[in-house]
Amino acid sequence: MTHASGTILCYALAVTRRALMTDLWKKLVLALIVLQPACSSAPPAACERITEACHPKDTGSGKPHDCHEAAEAASATEASCAALEADCLAACK
């Protein structure tokens, strides 16, 4: 292999490597953009209603506190909050 052909081969490998890295970065950025809403999505509507009603009434214990904590729990879902909503809203009036 001559020096010129070796240089061309090295250049071709560098360009290919750069193209692959650029493609990987594009995929990483796209994945982060797609996953970002899941990380910062709004709480379920029923949980938000409980939080709005019970947060001002939360004294650190009792039904308003329990409702407030349940609505803001990491595991809270629309279904779990909907099951508590009527009792919690009544307790936090």
Domain boundaries, the chain: 1-41, 45-91
Instruction: Identify which of 65, 63, 71, 22 has the alpha carbon closest to the alpha carbon of residue 45.
Output: 71
- What's the pLDDT at 56? 96
State the average pLDDT over residues 3-8. Answer: 67
User: pTM for the whole thing?
Assistant: 0.58
State the Cα–Cα distance between residues 71 and 80, nearest whole angstrom. Answer: 8
pLDDT in tens, 51-72: 999 999 999 999 999 999 999 9
State the Cα–Cα distance between residues 28 and 39, nearest whole angstrom. Answer: 16
Longest dimension (CA), the chain: 86
Q: What is the number of other CB atoms lying within 10 angstroms of the CB of residue 43?
A: 16
State the Cα–Cα distance between residues 44 and 34, nearest whole angstrom. Answer: 20
- What's the pLDDT at 40? 54
- What's the pLDDT at 8? 72
Q: Output the six-digit token pair for 64.
A: 């308003």
- Is residue 9 predicted with pLDDT exceeding 80? no
CB 54 within 8 A of CB 88: yes
State the average pLDDT over residues 23-48. Answer: 73
